A and B are shown apart, each in its own frame.
Chain A
Amino acid sequence: DGGITQSPKYLFRKEGQNVTLSCEQNLNHDAMYWYRQDPGQGLRLIYYSQIVNDFQKGDIAEGYSVSREKKESFPLTVTSAQKNPTAFYLCASSETSTASSGNTIYFGEGSWLTVV
């Protein structure tokens, strides 16, 4: 099946630990994104990548890190520096990220991260 796969679906982390969320897409999309969603709120952009080996900070990048070594993969690491990491994390992708392209962004099923 084509699409965006996120894992794990549910993750518990102890305070002070880093944790990595996986995101894989087989849509051959150039651009990938990570969004954070807090309960009852909209989505906020953490990081995005327009092409392999390149990524940019979004609106709330502090306490997070990413890599884009392969076109199909864009893992997100939530570091211990992130003060309030408990949230729902959504990975997404689009064909390109060129200005004025208006490409539709497609989303994965999300990962719930809880700090205990």
Chain B
Amino acid sequence: AQKVTQAQTEISVVEKEDVTLDCVYETRDTTYYLFWYKQPPSGELVFLIRRNSFDEQNEISGRYSWNFQKSTSSFNFTITASQVVDSAVYFCALSGNNAGNMLTFGGGTRLMVKP
């Protein structure tokens, strides 16, 4: 069985602060994929990143960066110099070769960035 845990249910920061969203996963699959999605107030889930289990390189995209560590089964997401527009709910998700392409979602972290 797969499981994704986002222990932080809600985070509040002031604009320009850096913030890290934690994601811990459990899977028995040898090949698996990790995802982050952003859900703004409008409701749509916006895809941010996909990572496969064989690629542990950290990734940076503008103010966003991701830290994948297989040793601790974590895939954390950092926003640098946060902005009000970053306010949203962020979901971490996992799919594995034994689950087909089915995504297992974490409970989400609500990020509030105050001006």
Contact = CB atoms under 8 A, between A and B. Distances in A.
B91 A42 contact: yes
Contact of A45 (B9, B42, B102, B107): B102
Looking at chain B's contact residues, the main secondary structure is loop
A94 B45 contact: no
A107 B40 CA distance: 13
Looking at chain A's contact residues, the main secondary structure is loop
Contact of B97 (A50, A99, A108): A99
B45 A101 contact: no
Given A100-B97, A102-B52, A104-B35, A48 B102 contact: yes
Interface size of B as a range: 20 to 34
B42 A98 contact: no
B44 A110 contact: yes
Interface size of A as a range: 20 to 34
Interface of B: 9, 31-33, 35, 37, 42-47, 50, 52, 91, 95-98, 100-103, 105-108
Given A44-B105, A98-B101, A105-B101, 12 more contacts: A40-B108, A41-B107, A42-B108, A50-B100, A88-B43, A90-B45, A94-B101, A98-B100, A102-B95, A103-B101, A105-B103, A109-B44
